[in-house]
Amino acid sequence: MTPGLALEIARGERRGILTAEVQQQIQQSQDHIAAMVAGHQTIYGVNTGFGPLCTTMISDDHLRDLQHNLLRSHAVGIGPDIAPHLVRLMLILKVQALAQGYSGICLDTVKRILWHIEEDLLPAVPAQGSVGASGDLAPLAHLFLPLIGEGYLYEAGEKKPAAAVLDAHAQSPLQLSPKEGLALINGTQFIAAYATAVLNRLHRCLEQADLIAAMSLEALLGSARPFEAPLHELRPFAGTQYVAARMREFLHGSAVMKSHAHCHRVQDPYSLRCIPQVHGASRNAWLHLKEMLQTEINSVTDNPVVLDEATAISGGNFHGQLISMPLDYVTIAAAELGNISERRVYLLLEGKVEGLPKLLLENIGLNSGFMVTQYTAAALVSENKTLCFPSSADSIPTSLGQEDHVSMGAFSGRKALKVVKNLEQILAIELLCAVQALDFRRPLRSTPYIDACHEYVRQTISFAEADRVFSEDIREAVRIIRSGKLLDILTETAAAREETMSGEWPEMFRV
């Protein structure tokens, strides 16, 4: 499983199946649990209480009740329900973890989870309540309450009691076997679902940030020399080299760039000159998250882990620190991408570069032009800065001290996604200003890549000759950024030119 594959399943582009081999592994693990229970072996959470109650033994006739009570007692989430695509990812990633065959889950339970995915009957999962150790207990409990006919499901966008939905679809609530409740709610699938969404949306931001930066640099008559390959071979970070290669491709052959080839400017401000170094650093952070997430979603993260018919180890594979820290790192990376983008917006509005009017309108005074778009970008950048404190640096003991160090990884994921959403809006503002600025360089043409993207934006956002309600332009620019259409245009342009952008790099930087 890759993050990209999980996203394809979540979007309905692929269907997840359980192969015969996987079904055998799942059944074998459940058989192991049954054998240990029959042999009266003491196993945490199977015939003992949970957390600080781990020394309390549970009689055989209450083992099923124990698992049902676990889901009920841990379903204490609060706040708004998370988005449907995140719920789908949680379900998909949980199936992937259970399919490893070390969780003691029943095959019928896994099949019921797949049924929920395929029928698009998605549990209601509150956003808040997980501390990211012993897994994402509260959100996962809400995720799986419908299996036992409790909690809520969304059907066609309407939130309904799970029991009523199951009954309408001729499905009976499941009776959980020993260990099943624990296998369901132990794990990092809430954190991992957010990380998968962050990885995907930040990837689109990174790809478009380079393009938009090239537009801004071109409009500002900046130099392309800081992107030359020999310079970056002397400091060969993968992200930096990739961004520099893309900048060279975006700008190569531009008539706008040639128009000032012999100007006397010695060097550009950092937000132009250091695009490879800053964007590249964010690329490297994205790569780190991708690597860690790839391992995480193919791991067994519940507890205890069932190794064979005689061995169940109670460990800490559920602890979210391993993914919480990369999420905090990538939050900073996303915030910095917005930070440098806002600085380029400021440069575009300054009016200090020949041919660009102040605030990107000719008749300033009567009109304020694009002045306040930069205010909005600045507000978003400041908000992102406040969200950069690492959640993984905090820990509040829970479970009466049994769980005395937690990762707070759920909030790492939630705030990382918030920062990326803000970043999309900051980039939209730079795109709006860069496209306006490029119009002042006409009739000179840019490169096929930049011209094609410029023309696409102009299909829905017209050149501004006077003040208007710019929030509507920003809203449309945000839609363009979030759609990823500019990336499709780049791919189509490269194909028409029989080119492959950035040589060997795309595979590494693909979700």
Interhelix angle 3-10/189-219, rounded to 10 degrees, is 100
Q: What is d(CA 1, CA 98) in angstroms, rounded to the nearest whole number?
A: 13
> Which residue from 329, 344, 221, 332 is spatially nearest to 274, judged by alpha carbons?
344
Between the alpha carbon of residue 427 and those of residues 337, 380, 475, the distances in Å are 9, 11, 12
Which runs of E-coded beta strand occur in 380-469?
none
Q: Which residues pair with 364 in a beta bridge?
A: 367
- DSSP-derived letter for residue 12 is T
Report CA torsion sign: 439, 443, 446, 448.
positive
Known catalytic residue: 44? Answer: yes
How many alpha carbons lie under 13 Å from residue 443 in its C-beta half-sphere? 0
- Active-site entry in 44, 154, 329, 449: 44
Which are the contacts of 170, defined by CB distance < 8 A and separation ≥ 6? none
Report CA torsion sign: 154, 155, 158, 164.
negative
| Helix H or strand E encompassing 159 | strand 158-161
Q: What is d(CA 397, CA 409) in angstroms, rounded to the nearest whole number?
A: 14
Q: What is d(CA 386, CA 415) in angstroms, rounded to the nearest whole number?
A: 10
> Which residue from 451, 457, 447, 450 is spatially nearest to 485, judged by alpha carbons?
457
Give the helix ranges, DSSP H, for 259-352. 270-273, 275-296, 321-350
Q: What is d(CA 428, CA 420) in angstroms, rounded to the nearest whole number?
A: 12
- DSSP codes of every residue in 310-324: TEEE---TT-THHHH
Q: What is d(CA 179, CA 357) in angstroms, rounded to the nearest whole number?
A: 69
- DSSP codes of every residue in 74-114: H---EEEEPPHHHHHHHHHHHHHHHTTS-S---HHHHHHHH
How many alpha carbons lie under 13 Å from residue 482 in its C-beta half-sphere? 15
Q: What is d(CA 445, CA 457) in angstroms, rounded to the nearest whole number?
A: 16
State the catalytic residues: 44
